[in-house]
C-alpha cells in the first residue's frame, strides 16, 4: 500500500466516448499475406488509355508482365513496375497477350482477327497469323512447346497454329458461340481447354483432334475465364457471378461452386502463398476479380474464401507473378493496381556465406577499457534475456494541451485548443467535460468572432453525425441563439451559418426519406410478427 | 451482532506520545490504529453515545513517553480516563450534559511537578444544557463550562460563555489560551496560571466581517490564525497585548508598536496587526501551525493542503487529496502527521516531503446528491454471498467494503474523470447492482445536462476476475434507454442475464454473449448485448426483479406489476393496482410470493401470491427498503415511523432518536415475526447476507452457513444480526486483534546490519548424531595409474573435502 499512492487521486485526461469495437476479427496470417501486396510508394498508380483486357507474366526471371489495352501491349518491368516498352503494331484493339515459355516471344490477338508474334526485347513483329474471320479473344502458348500456339475467337473456332510457318494445323470446331477464354494443361502440351459464351468448356487433345473435343463441361453461364489448376487435374471456370472447380480426371465432375461475387467474374488466375513458413506456405489459391470491384482469394482445398479485397472500379483482369512477388489487377477504366510484396532477400545471401566458409573461429572479445569509447556505453543497449524480470516503467498518461488548460480551469482556451486540434472525438470529449463543469455555454458566450467561426465550421461538419448529434445539435441551436448579434455583424460568420443551414436541411431530407421507408417497412414487419 | 462502518472523521483524532498509534473517535468507541501499518490495534469501548473528543495525556519527560493515558468526552455526558495500552477504563466523570468538545489546557503546558500534591486539573467543555433547551427552545443552548477532573465534578456555576449552538473549543499548544469561534467573532480566554474553580478569566474578542470557520494558535508566539467562509485566512499578531499584559513580555510576538499603528486590525480589537491571506476559493476547514511555528497548514473544500511560510507568506501545496479536508494533526514525531478527509479516510503524511505513507479508509460516506436525481439515487448494494457492500462514492468510485472485517476491500473507478471538489455535482454514479454470486457488477452513471444539452446516462457491466477479485470493465452502453434515467437493475439468479428498467417506459434484458475464441487471443471476448426490449402501455418502469429460479421477470409499470417470460420476452400476466408508484419489487425466496413497496403519500407494502395472481395482504407503511431471503420464505421491511407515533414515543423517552423500524414477516402471516427499532432509517438499506464459515475448523465442525440480516443506516453505519434471534457464530475472526503493535525498535548493531540469525543449536545436535559418512572417496580417488589421475589441484581439494565432516543443510 505504501508504494502505490492510493490516496492521491489519479489524473485522467479527457477521453472520448468508446467506439464499439469492430466485429472484424483479427486478420488471419493468410489475409495478412494478401494484404502485404502493396502499391510501392515511389511508383504512382498507372493509368492506361482504356480498359485492360488481359494481363500476363513472363515465365522467366525477372517476370515482367504485359498488359493489353486499346491497340497496344505495354510491357512493365517487374522491378520498377513502370512501363518498359510499348508495342503498338496492331490494327485494332489488342487482346490476350501471352509470353512464350522462355519469355522471349510475345503473342497477342486483336479484334481484326489476326494473331501477331513479337520479339520481347526488340519489339519486332516476327509472325502474323491470319485465319480468324472475327476478333481473336484468346491466344495461348503451351507450357513447354515453343513452336505451336492455339487461339480462339468470336467465330467460335479454336485454331491450333504452327508458328514458324504461320500455318494453322487444326481447326477445332464445336463451340456454338464466341470463344472467350482458354488455358493450356500444365502437365501435358497436347491438351488445352477453351471456354465459350455457349456456357460450355471444351477440353481438347490434339492427338485425337479429329473427333472433336475430348470432354465438355457446362458451366451454366457464359464462360468468361477458364484456367488449369497447377496439378493439371482440376480446372476452374468463371462465368456469371460464380467460379466453379471441376475435376477433369474424374470425368468432369463439379467439385465446388463459389458464388460470393455480386457481379460477373471477369478473370481468374492461380495465386500462390509464397511464404517460407506457416500453415499455408506454398499453397495455391484461385484469385478471382469481378465487375463488382472485389478481388477474392479462394482456397480450393478447403472450398473457402480466405481473403477479400475491394477496389473502387470494376475489375477486368488479374495476374500473379510466378515468384509470388507481384499481383496486378486491371480495371475497366484503365487503372492498373499493382501490388508488390517486400521479400526478405538476405536469407539466400546468408546461406551462401555460411556454405562458403566452414567453421569460422570467432575473434576473441576484447576487454573494454576506459580508453575505448564503447567503454562508456557498455550495458546501455543491453536487451533483456529470457527469464529476466522486467520492471516496466509506469505508463505515462498522455496529456494533451486541452487537458492542461482544463486543469488550470482555463475553459475557453481548452475549447479553442481542442477545436484547433481538428479531431472531432476530442472536441466532443472536451465539450462533454465542459458540460460536466457547467461551463460550456459560458465558453460559447466568451468566444470571439474568429473562434466562433471555428466552432461554427466544426458544428456544420459534425452536428449531423449520429455519434455526436445528441450534443452538437443542441449546442448548435444554443450557439445560434446566443451569438445572433455577432453573426449578423460578420460576413464570414453569415457564410458559416448558411452552410450550417444547408447541412441541416440535407439532414431533414434524409430523415424524411428514412421515415418514408420506415412507414413502408413497419406494416410488413407487423404482419410478419403476427404469423 | 456485528457493528461497523463507523465514521473516522466525526471528531479530530489524536496521536499517542510515541507517534505509533492514532486514536480515532469512531462512533461510541475510540479505535486505536497503528501508524506504521494503518490497521486497527484495539478499541476503547464504554461510551454510550458519540465520542466527541479524545485527548492524550502528553509525556512531560522522555521516560514517560510510553505512558498511554487519554481523556475522552462524549455526548452521553461522561468524561472517561483510559489507559489505552491495555486498554482499561480508569475513571469516569459524569456531568450529565452532552459534551460537544473538550480541551484540557493544562495538559499541554504542564510543567514537571515538583510538589507532592499535583494541582487540580481542569477541563473546559462545550456542553448543551438539555433542560434549558426544553424550557426555552429558542435560547442559546451551548455553554462553555469548566470541569475539575481531579475531583470529578463541574466547577460550580462557572459558565464562561453561552453560544447559540455548541461550539468547538480550540486551545493553544502552549496551554495558555483557549477560545471558541462565535459567528463573526473569536472569543479568546487566557488560562489562569494558578487555576482553581473560582479563578478570574481575562478574555478578548476579535471581530471580522465574515463568519469564522476555524482558527488555530501559534505554539510559541502570541499569533492566531483564523479562516472564514470565503476562504480568507486572517492572522493576528500579538493578540491581547493589553488584556493579557501580565504575560512574559519576551514571547510577545514582535516589537510592540503604538496603538495608532496597527495595520489591518480593528480599532477595538486587542491585537497588534492583522494580515489576510487568500488562496482558498471556498471556506477554510483546516488551520494548523507546525510544531516549530514556522509554517501554517491550511486546507478546505478543494482537497488541497496548503503550507504557508509564516514569515513570508510563500505557499507549497499537496494537491489532489481527493476529498475535502477536515482535520490536520501533527504527531510528536516531527516526520509524521495525519490529515482526515471528508470521504472517511485518514492519511498519514511523511512530513517535509508531504508524501502519503498510509491510509486508513473507512466506508465511504453518502455524498451529496443534486435535487434533480434524488429519486434515481441508491447509494449501495449488498453482496449476498461475499459479505460485502458496494458503496457509491463521490469520486466516481464504487467502494467494496467487507462487512465482516469492517475494512475496505477494493475500489473500482467507474468514471474516469478528474474530481473537481467544490463544484456542483454533475456527474455521479447513482446505481449499482451485484449479481447473486458477486461475480458481475453493473453501474449506472449519470451526467447531468447543462441547460438541456449534453446529458448522458451510461450503463456499465463489470466482471470479477477469478483470481484477482478485482472488477474489470466488460461492457459500456451509452444511453441504454435513450436519455431516460434508469430506475433499477436486476440480475438473473443463475444465468448471465440482467434487466434494466427505465422511466422512459421500457425495460431491456441484457445477456452476456461469448464470442468465438480467436486463434491468437488469450481470452474469449465477452460482452453484454441487448436481448429483448419490452414496454407496457408506455408507462414508466420503476422496478424490476427476477424470481428465485429465474423463470419469471417482474417489472413494475408504475402502479401495476407486469410478469414476463425473460427468455421469450412474452408478457405473462399483469397484476395489482396500487395507488402510488411501486419502487421496490422482490420475490420471496422459493415461495410463490412477491413483495412490492410503493412510495408516496399512500405508500404501501403488498404481498402478492403468484399462484393466484392476486394480493395476499398489505400494510400501509412508508418503506425505505425491502429484503427477502433467498432460500427461506420470509422477508424484512425497513419502514419509517410516522411522525405522530415518533413524537409519542419520544415522550416516553425510551427510544430516543429512533425513526425507523425493521419488521420481519413470514410470507403467509401478516403479523410480523420480529421487530427492531433503528435510528437514521431514512436513506438506509436492508439485506440478507449469507455468511459462510471462514476457518477450516468451522467447516469441519459442520456449522452451516448462517443467514444474517444487515442493516445500514443513512450514515453508512451498519449492523449485522441474526433475524431469528440466534447467536451469531464466531465466524468473524477479528483480524484486527492479531495486529499487535509493531515490532520493538531496533538499536545499535541491529539497526545497521539487521538482526543476526538465531542459531538453533538443538537441531544441529540431533542432525549430527544421525550423520554417517556414507561414502569414502579417499579410497577411490587415488586408484588407477598415475597418468590417468586428474591434476593435483583438483584431487587435493576433493581429498580434503572428503576428510571434512559435512554438515547437512538444515531446511528451514
**Residue A240: what are its φ and ψ, rounded to 5°?**
60, -140
pLDDT for B76: 85
Please list every residue in chain B whose beta carbon sits closer than 8 Å to the beta carbon of residue A436.
417, 426-427, 447-448, 454
* In the predicted structure, residue B95 carries a pLDDT above the cut 90: no
pLDDT for A418: 92
Q: With an 8 Å Cβ cutoff, are B450 and A8 in contact?
A: no
Chain A residue with CA closest to B427: the answer is A436
Highest mean pLDDT among B99-113, B352-366, B761-775: B352-366
The span from the CA of A395 to the CA of A249, in Å, is 63
> What percent of chain A has pLDDT above 90?
29
Mean pLDDT of B416-428: 78
Residue B679: name the closest of B653, B710, B656, B663 by CA.
B656
Q: Which residue has the higher pLDDT, A418 or B438?
A: A418
Q: What single-letter DSSP state applies at residue B172?
A: -
* In the predicted structure, residue B74 carries a pLDDT above the cut 60: yes
The span from the CA of B420 to the CA of A335, in Å, is 58
Q: What single-letter DSSP state applies at residue B786?
A: G
pLDDT for A427: 92
| 3-state class (DSSP) for residue B746 | coil
Neighbouring CB atoms inside 10 A of B778's CB total 13
> What percent of chain B has pLDDT above 70?
77
A435 min Cα distance to partner chain B (Å): 6
Q: With an 8 Å Cβ cutoff, are B321 and A435 in contact?
A: no
The span from the CA of B564 to the CA of B552, in Å, is 6
Q: With an 8 Å Cβ cutoff, are A435 and B416 in contact?
A: no
Neighbouring CB atoms inside 10 A of B772's CB total 5
Q: Which domains does chain A have, with CATH numbers?
A: 29-340 (2.130.10.10), 401-530 (1.25.40)
The span from the CA of A190 to the CA of A214, in Å, is 12
Residues B363-404: pLDDT tens digits? 888 777 766 666 667 778 888 887 888 888 888 888 888 888
Q: With an 8 Å Cβ cutoff, are A471 and B419 in contact?
A: no
Residues B482-508: pLDDT tens digits? 888 888 899 998 888 999 999 888 999
Cell of B196: 482553581
Q: Which residue has the higher pLDDT, A524 or B521?
A: A524
* In the predicted structure, residue B654 carries a pLDDT above the cut 70: no
Please list every residue in chain A whose beta carbon sits closer than 8 Å to the beta carbon of residue B424.
438
**Who's near B751: CB < 8 A, 6+ residues apart?**
none
Alpha-carbon distances, residue A424 vs A17, A429, A456, B454 (angstroms): 11, 8, 13, 15
Place of cell 503546558: B109
Residues paired with residue A103 on neighbouring β-strands, in sequence order: none
Q: With an 8 Å Cβ cutoff, are A407 and B418 in contact?
A: yes
Q: What single-letter DSSP state applies at residue A342?
A: -
Angle subtended at Cα B479 by Cα B475 and Cα B485, rounded to the nearest 5 degrees: 115
Q: With an 8 Å Cβ cutoff, are A7 and B356 in contact?
A: yes
Of A8, A17, A438, which has the smallest distance from its Cβ to B321's Cβ? Answer: A8
pLDDT for A98: 92
Q: Which residue has the higher pLDDT, B243 or A323?
A: A323
Mean pLDDT of B282-299: 88
Residues B705-745: pLDDT tens digits? 678 888 888 888 888 888 776 655 444 434 433 333 334 44
Place of cell 515465365: A59
The span from the CA of B528 to the CA of B544, in Å, is 18
Cell of A185: 494443361
Please list every residue in chain B whose beta carbon sits closer than 8 Å to the beta carbon of residue A8.
320-322, 356
Q: Does A470 touch chain B (CB under 8 A)?
A: yes
Of B321, B356, B454, which has the smallest distance from its Cβ to A432's Cβ? Answer: B454
Q: With an 8 Å Cβ cutoff, are A440 and B453 in contact?
A: yes
pLDDT for B172: 84
**Residue B278: what are its φ and ψ, rounded to 5°?**
-135, 110
pLDDT for A352: 42
Q: With an 8 Å Cβ cutoff, are B519 and A438 in contact?
A: no
- The ipTM, to two decimals, is 0.78
A408 min Cα distance to partner chain B (Å): 12
Q: With an 8 Å Cβ cutoff, are A9 and B320 in contact?
A: yes
A470 min Cα distance to partner chain B (Å): 7
For helices A491-530 and A449-462, angle between their N-to-C axes, nearest 10 degrees: 20
B420 min Cα distance to partner chain A (Å): 8
B135: confidence class by pLDDT, cuts 50, 70, 90: low
Whether residue A62 is preceded by a cis peptide bond, meaning omega within 30 degrees of 0, is yes
Residue pair B22/B56 in contact by the 8 Å Cβ criterion: no
Task: State the DSSP H helix or E strand holding residue A163, giving kind and residue range, or none if neither.
Answer: none
Q: Does A478 touch chain B (CB under 8 A)?
A: yes
pLDDT for B698: 47
Q: With an 8 Å Cβ cutoff, are B518 and A25 in contact?
A: yes
**Residue B218: what are its φ and ψ, rounded to 5°?**
-75, 145
Of B357, B419, B448, which has the smallest distance from its Cβ to A2's Cβ? Answer: B357
The span from the CA of B582 to the CA of B253, in Å, is 67
Place of cell 473537481: B420
Q: With an 8 Å Cβ cutoff, are B417 and A12 in contact?
A: yes
Q: Which residue has the higher pLDDT, A334 or A364?
A: A334
Give the torsion sign (CA, A413, A415, A416, A422).
Answer: positive
Strand order in the sheet with B295-300: B284-289, B295-300, B305-309, B315-318
Q: Which segments within B579-667 are labelled E, that is strand?
A: 582-587, 593-598, 604-609, 614-619, 622-628, 634-640, 658-666
Residues B557-589: pLDDT tens digits? 888 899 999 888 889 899 878 888 888 888 888
The span from the CA of B332 to the CA of B219, in Å, is 13
Of A8, A28, A431, which has the smallest distance from its Cβ to B454's Cβ? Answer: A431
pLDDT for A355: 44
Of A7, A11, A433, which has the smallest distance from its Cβ to B347's Cβ? Answer: A7
Interface of A with B in 426-445 (CB under 8 A): 431-441
A178: confidence class by pLDDT, cuts 50, 70, 90: very high
* In the predicted structure, residue B794 carries a pLDDT above the cut 80: no
Q: Does A469 touch chain B (CB under 8 A)?
A: no
User: Which of A9, A19, A405 to mutate to test binding with chain B, by most B CBs within 10 Å of its CB?
Assistant: A9
Q: Which domains does chain B have, with CATH numbers?
A: 10-171 (2.130.10.10), 368-478 (no CATH)
pLDDT for B519: 46
Residues paired with residue B143 on neighbouring β-strands, in sequence order: B127, B162
Dmax (CA) of chain B = 118
Residue pair B21/B7 in contact by the 8 Å Cβ criterion: no
Lowest mean pLDDT of A132-136, A363-367, A499-503, B417-421, name the range.
Answer: A363-367
Residues of B with CB under 8 A from a CB of A: 38, 320-322, 345, 347, 355-359, 395, 413, 416-420, 423-424, 426-427, 447-456, 476, 478-479, 483, 518-521
User: Which of A4, A415, A435, A482 to mutate to test binding with chain B, by most B CBs within 10 Å of its CB?
Assistant: A435
Of A7, A432, A438, which has the smallest distance from its Cβ to B359's Cβ? Answer: A7
Q: With an 8 Å Cβ cutoff, are A440 and B321 in contact?
A: no
Residue pair A311/A296 in contact by the 8 Å Cβ criterion: no
Amino acid at each position: 500500500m505504501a508504494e502505490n499512492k492510493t490516496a492521491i487521486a489519479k489524473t485522467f485526461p479527457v477521453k472520448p466516448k468508446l467506439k464499439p469495437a469492430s466485429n472484424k476479427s483479427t486478420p488471419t496470417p493468410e489475409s495478412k499475406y494478401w494484404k502485404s501486396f502493396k502499391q510501392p510508394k515511389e511508383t504512382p498508380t498507372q493509368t492506361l488509355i482504356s480498359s485492360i483486357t488481359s494481363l500476363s507474366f513472363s515465365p522467366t526471371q525477372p517476370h515482367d508482365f504485359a498488359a493489353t489495352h486499346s491497340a497496344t501491349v505495354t510491357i512493365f518491368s517487374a522491378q520498377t513496375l513502370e512501363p518498359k516498352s510499348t508495342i503498338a503494331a496492331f490494327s485494332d484493339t489488342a487482346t490476350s497477350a501471352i509470353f512464350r515459355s522462355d519469355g522471349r516471344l510475345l503473342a497477342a490477338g486483336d479484334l481484326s482477327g489476326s494473331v501477331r508474334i513479337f520479339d520481347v526485347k526488340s519489339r519486332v513483329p516476327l509472325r502474323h497469323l491470319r485465319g480468324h474471320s472475327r476478333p481473336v479473344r484468346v491466344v495461348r502458348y503451351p507450357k513447354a512447346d515453343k513452336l505451336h500456339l492455339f487461339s480462339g475467337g468470336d467465330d467460335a473456332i479454336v485454331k491450333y497454329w504452327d508458328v514458324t510457318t504461320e500455318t494453322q494445323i487444326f481447326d477445332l470446331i464445336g463451340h456454338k458461340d464466341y470463344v472467350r477464354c482458354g488455358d493450356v494443361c500444365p502437365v501435358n502440351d497436347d491438351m488445352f481447354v477453351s471456354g465459350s459464351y455457349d456456357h460450355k468448356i471444351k477440353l481438347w487433345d490434339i492427338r485425337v483432334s479429329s473427333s472433336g473435343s475430348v470432354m465438355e463441361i457446362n458451366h451454366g453461364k457464359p464462360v468468361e475465364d477458364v484456367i488449369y489448376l497447377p496439378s493439371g487435374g482440376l480446372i476452374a471456370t468463371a462465368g456469371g457471378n460464380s467460379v466453379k472447380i471441376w475435376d477433369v480426371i474424374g470425368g468432369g465432375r463439379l467439385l465446388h461452386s463459389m458464388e460470393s461475387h455480386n457481379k460477373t467474374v471477369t478473370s481468374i488466375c492461380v495465386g500462390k502463398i509464397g511464404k517460407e513458413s506457416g500453415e499455408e506456405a506454398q499453397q495455391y489459391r484461385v484469385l478471382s476479380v469481378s465487375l463488382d470491384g472485389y478481388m477474392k482469394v479462394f482456397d480450393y482445398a478447403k472450398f473457402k474464401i480466405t481473403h477479400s479485397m475491394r477496389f473502387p472500379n470494376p475489375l477486368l483482369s488479374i495476374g500473379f507473378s510466378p515468384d509470388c512477388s507481384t499481383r496486378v489487377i486491371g480495371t475497366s477504366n484503365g487503372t492498373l493496381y499493382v501490388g508488390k510484396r517486400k521479400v526478405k532477400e538476405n536469407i539466400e545471401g546468408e546461406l551462401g556465406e555460411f556454405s562458403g566458409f566452414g567453421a569460422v573461429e570467432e575473434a576473441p572479445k576484447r576487454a573494454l577499457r576506459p580508453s575505448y569509447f564503447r567503454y562508456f556505453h557498455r550495458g546501455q543497449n543491453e536487451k533483456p534475456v529470457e527469464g529476466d524480470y522486467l520492471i516496466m516503467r509506469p505508463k505515462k498518461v498522455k496529456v494533451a494541451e486541452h487537458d492542461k488548460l482544463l486543469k488550470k480551469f482555463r475553459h475557453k482556451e481548452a475549447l479553442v485548443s481542442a477545436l484547433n486540434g481538428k479531431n472531432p472525438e476530442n472536441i466532443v470529449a472536451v465539450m462533454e467535460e465542459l458540460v460536466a463543469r457547467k461551463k460550456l455555454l459560458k465558453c460559447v458566450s466568451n468566444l470571439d468572432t474568429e473562434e466562433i467561426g471555428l466552432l461554427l465550421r466544426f458544428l456544420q461538419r459534425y452536428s449531423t453525425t449520429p455519434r455526436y448529434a445528441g450534443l452538437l445539435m443542441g449546442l448548435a441551436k444554443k450557439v445560434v441563439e446566443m451569438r445572433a448579434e455577432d453573426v449578423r455583424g460578420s460576413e464570414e460568420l453569415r457564410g458559416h451559418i448558411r452552410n450550417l443551414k444547408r447541412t441541416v436541411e440535407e439532414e431533414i431530407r434524409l430523415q424524411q426519406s428514412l421515415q418514408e421507408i420506415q412507414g413502408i417497412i413497419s406494416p410488413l414487419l407487423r404482419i410478419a410478427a403476427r404469423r | 451482532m456485528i457493528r461497523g462502518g463507523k465514521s473516522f472523521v466525526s471528531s479530530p483524532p489524536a496521536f499517542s506520545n510515541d507517534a505509533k498509534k492514532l486514536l480515532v473517535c469512531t462512533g461510541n468507541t475510540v479505535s486505536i490504529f497503528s501508524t506504521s501499518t494503518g490497521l486497527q490495534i484495539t478499541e476503547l469501548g464504554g461510551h454510550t453515545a458519540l465520542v466527541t473528543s479524545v485527548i492524550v495525556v502528553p509525556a512531560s519527560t522522555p521516560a514517560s513517553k510510553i505512558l498511554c493515558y487519554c481523556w475522552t468526552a462524549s455526548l452521553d455526558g461522561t468524561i472517561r480516563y483510559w489507559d489505552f495500552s491495555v486498554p482499561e477504563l480508569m475513571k469516569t466523570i459524569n456531568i450529565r450534559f452532552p459534551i460537544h468538545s473538550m480541551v484540557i489546557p493544562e495538559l499541554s503546558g504542564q510543567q514537571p511537578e515538583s510538589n507532592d500534591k499535583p494541582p487540580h486539573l481542569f477541563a473546559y467543555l462545550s456542553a448543551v444544557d438539555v433542560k434549558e433547551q426544553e424550557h426555552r427552545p429558542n435560547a442559546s443552548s451551548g455553554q462553555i463550562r469548566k470541569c475539575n477532573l481531579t475531583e470529578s465534578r463541574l466547577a460550580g456555576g462557572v459558565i464562561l460563555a453561552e453560544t447559540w449552538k455548541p461550539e468547538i473549543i480550540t486551545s493553544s499548544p502552549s496551554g495558555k489560551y483557549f477560545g471558541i469561534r462565535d459567528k463573526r467573532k473569536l472569543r479568546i480566554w487566557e488560562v489562569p496560571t494558578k487555576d482553581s474553580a473560582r479563578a478570574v478569566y481575562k478574555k478578548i474578542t476579535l471581530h471580522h466581517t465574515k463568519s469564522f470557520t476555524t482558527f488555530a494558535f501559534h505554539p510559541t508566539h502570541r499569533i492566531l490564525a483564523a479562516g472564514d467562509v470565503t476562504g480568507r485566512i486572517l492572522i493576528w499578531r500579538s493578540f491581547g497585548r493589553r488584556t493579557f499584559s501580565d504575560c512574559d513580555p519576551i514571547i510577545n510576538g514582535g516589537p510592540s508598536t503604538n496603538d495608532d499603528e496597527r495595520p489591518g486590525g480593528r480599532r477595538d480589537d486587542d491585537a497588534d496587526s492583522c494580515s489576510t491571506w487568500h488562496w482558498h476559493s471556498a471556506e477554510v476547514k483546516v488551520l494548523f501551525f507546525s510544531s516549530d511555528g514556522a509554517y501554517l497548514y491550511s486546507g478546505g473544500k478543494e482537497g488541497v493542503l496548503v503550507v504557508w511560510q509564516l514569515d513570508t507568506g510563500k505557499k507549497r501545496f499537496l494537491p489532489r487529496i481527493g476529498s475535502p479536508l477536515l482535520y490536520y494533526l501533527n504527531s510528536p514525531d516531527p516526520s509524521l502527521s495525519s490529515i482526515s478527509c471528508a470521504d472517511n479516510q485518514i492519511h498519514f503524511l511523511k512530513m517535509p516531503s508531504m508524501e502519503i505513507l498510509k491510509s486508513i479508509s473507512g466506508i465511504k460516506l453518502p455524498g451529496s446528491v443534486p435535487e434533480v436525481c434524488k429519486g434515481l439515487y441508491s447509494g449501495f448494494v449488498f453482496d449476498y454471498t461475499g459479505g460485502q457492500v458496494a458503496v457509491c462514492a463521490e469520486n466516481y468510485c464504487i467502494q467494496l467494503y467487507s462487512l465482516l472485517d469492517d475494512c475496505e476491500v477494493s475500489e473500482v473507478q467507474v468514471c474516469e474523470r478528474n474530481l473537481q471538489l467544490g463544484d456542483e455535482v454533475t456527474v455521479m454514479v447513482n446505481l449499482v447492482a451485484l449479481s447473486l454470486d458477486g461475480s458481475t457488477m453493473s453501474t449506472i452513471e449519470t451526467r447531468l445536462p447543462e441547460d438541456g444539452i449534453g446529458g448522458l446516462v451510461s450503463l456499465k457491466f463489470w466482471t470479477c476476475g477469478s483470481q484477482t477479485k478485482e472488477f474489470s470493465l466488460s461492457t459500456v452502453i451509452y444511453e441504454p434507454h435513450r436519455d431516460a434515467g434508469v430506475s433499477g437493475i436486476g440480475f438473473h439468479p443463475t444465468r448471465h442475464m440482467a434487466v434494466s428498467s427505465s422511466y422512459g417506459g421500457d425495460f431491456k434484458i441484457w445477456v452476456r454473449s461469448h464470442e468465438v475464441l480467436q486463434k491468437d487471443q488469450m481470452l474469449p471476448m465477452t460482452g453484454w448485448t441487448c436481448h429483448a426490449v419490452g414496454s407496457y402501455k408506455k408507462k414508466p418502469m420503476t422496478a424490476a426483479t427476477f424470481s428465485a429460479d429465474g423463470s419469471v421477470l417482474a417489472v413494475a409499470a408504475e402502479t401495476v406489476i407486469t410478469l414476463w417470460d425473460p427468455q421469450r420476452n412474452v408478457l405473462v400476466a399483469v397484476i395489482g393496482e396500487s395507488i402510488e408508484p411501486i419502487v421496490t419489487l422482490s420475490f420471496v425466496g422459493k415461495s410463490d410470493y412477491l413483495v412490492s413497496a410503493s412510495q408516496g403519500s399512500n405508500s404501501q407494502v403488498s404481498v402478492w401470491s403468484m399462484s393466484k395472481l392476486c394480493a395476499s395482504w398489505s400494510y400501509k407503511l412508508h418503506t425505505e427498503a425491502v429484503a427477502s431471503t433467498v432460500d427461506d420464505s420470509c422477508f424484512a421491511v425497513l419502514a419509517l415511523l410516522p411522525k405522530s407515533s415518533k413524537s409519542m414515543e419520544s415522550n416516553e423517552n425510551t427510544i430516543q432518536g429512533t425513526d425507523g423500524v425493521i419488521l420481519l414477516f413470514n410470507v403467509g402471516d401478516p403479523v410480523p415475526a420480529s421487530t427492531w427499532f433503528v435510528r437514521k432509517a431514512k436513506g438506509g438499506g436492508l439485506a440478507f447476507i449469507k455468511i459462510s464459515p471462514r476457518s477450516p475448523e468451522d467447516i469441519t465442525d459442520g456449522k452451516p452457513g448462517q443467514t444474517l440480516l444487515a442493516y445500514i443506516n443513512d450514515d453508512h453505519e451498519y449492523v449485522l444480526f441474526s433475524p431469528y434471534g440466534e447467536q451469531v457464530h464466531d465466524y468473524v475472526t477479528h483480524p484486527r486483534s492479531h495486529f499487535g503493535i509493531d515490532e520493538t525498535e531496533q538499536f545499535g548493531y541491529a539497526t545497521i546490519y539487521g538482526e543476526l540469525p538465531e542459531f538453533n543449536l538443538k537441531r544441529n545436535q540431533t542432525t549430527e548424531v544421525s550423520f554417517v559418512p556414507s561414502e569414502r572417496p579417499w579410497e577411490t580417488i587415488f586408484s588407477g595409474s598415475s597418468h590417468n589421475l586428474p591434476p593435483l589441484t583438483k584431487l587435493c581439494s576433493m581429498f580434503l573435502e572428503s576428510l571434512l565432516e559435512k554438515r547437512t543443510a538444515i531446511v528451514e
